[in-house]
Amino acid sequence: MTAPATTFDELKEAIAQAYPTLSPQLQRLARFALDKPHDLALGTVAAVAQTNGVQPSSMIRFANALGFSGFTQMQQVFQSHLVERSTPYRERIEQLRRGPRVSEARGDDVLHGFVGKAISELRQLEENVPPAQMAAGARVLARAPQIHVLAQRRAFPVAYYLAYALNQLELRTQLLAGVGGMLGDFAHGIVKGDALLVASFRNYSPQVIEMATACRERGVSVVAITDSPLSPLRPAADVCFVLGDDSTQPFRSLVGPMCLAQALVVCTGHEIAAAAGKPKAIRKGQHK
């Protein structure tokens, strides 16, 4: 049996690799573990099982499938991660989350609730995206002769912004909107050496997944923005930004994806300036 993970990053990777082989019940637990590591770190076997609509024995099987002797050993990895990231902000956010339901709240309560969730989302973004990954994504975009940007549904505003901002850097960038059913025709213009920048969140857009997979198979560099290590975009991407997302919320936020998009554009600008041997042309606060 493979040695169990000792860090949260190792555990996330182990869950993603094991996911296709798990039963539907254990897959449900895998998604919960990745989406709500805080809840798994603090919950009992019975509480986590009840939240996910499974038997407590399923928790043990889930831990065993990841190489742990039991739930407690696995939970210790989540608890260590929680201690590392614990700050007063989390306490404030949790107080907001325990506030009135949106349907019963006044306007200021609704705003405060969304602000609290946005703060939590941005902290998760900062933890999930290491600087080396930002640099890798920026290098792909800065060096590509042509960048193609694709997203649909909720992710479309992210793609629209990226296409606009990358064009402002004077990079050849095309937004693949698929207007008039022409997405497949535009796809033929994506050739080896180009970059495809895609975004998709649950429920994932089949056309986006298919495009990313097909492009990578023919030598196109794929940079993806998605919401889970279990996303079908991840295997199709050379560089994959996994933001984390609570899909149980009725109104899922774009704060994290838009923040990442802006940071990626700025990093790409730095990469272009560095490659030209010039001082960094884009500094914090200058990009609009």
Contact between 233 and 110 (Cβ < 8 Å): no
Judgement on whether residues 114 and 153 belong to the same structural domain of the protein: no
Q: What mean pLDDT do residues 90-111 have?
A: 54
Q: How far is CA 32 from CA 141, 180, 200, 230, 273, in A?
A: 33, 38, 19, 11, 42
CATH number at residue 44: 1.10.10.10
Counted domains in the chain: 3
Backbone angles phi, psi at 201, to 5 degrees: -125, 165
Task: Kindly state whether residues 142 and 245 are assigned to the same domain.
Answer: yes
Confidence label for 254 from pLDDT (cuts 50, 70 and 90): confident
Looking at the structure, do residues 120 and 54 belong to the same domain, yes or no? Answer: no
pLDDT tens profile 191-248: 898 999 999 988 788 888 988 988 888 889 999 998 888 888 888 899 999 887 655 5
Give the three-state DSSP class for 37: helix
At a CB cut-off of 8 Å and minimum separation 6, what does 112 contact? 96, 99
Whether the predicted pLDDT of 94 surpasses 80: no
Q: Which of 85, 117, 139 is the last residue of a domain?
A: 85
The angle formed by the CA atoms of residues 137, 223 and 26, to the nearest 5 degrees, is 115
Rounded Cα distance between 129 and 179, Å, is 32
Please check the confidence at residue 90 and state whether its pLDDT lies above 80.
Answer: no
d(CA 260, CA 254): 10
For the segment 84-95, the average pLDDT, to the nearest whole number, is 49
Q: List, for residues 108-156, the tens digit of each pLDDT value.
A: 677 777 787 788 778 778 878 888 999 999 999 999 999 999 998 888 9
Q: What is the mean pLDDT of residues 39-64?
A: 89
- The neighbour count for residue 195, using CB atoms within 10 Å, is 26
Looking at the domain assignment, is residue 106 inside a domain?
A: yes
Structural domain that includes position 101: 88-128
Tell the burial category of 180 from Cβ atoms under 10 Å away from its Cβ (0-12, 13-18, 19+): exposed
Q: Is the pTM of this model over 0.95?
A: no
State the pLDDT at residue 281: 47
Q: Is residue 288 part of a domain?
A: no
| 182 plus 206 within the same structural domain | yes
Q: Within this chain, do residues 154 and 264 fall inside the same structural domain, yes or no?
A: yes
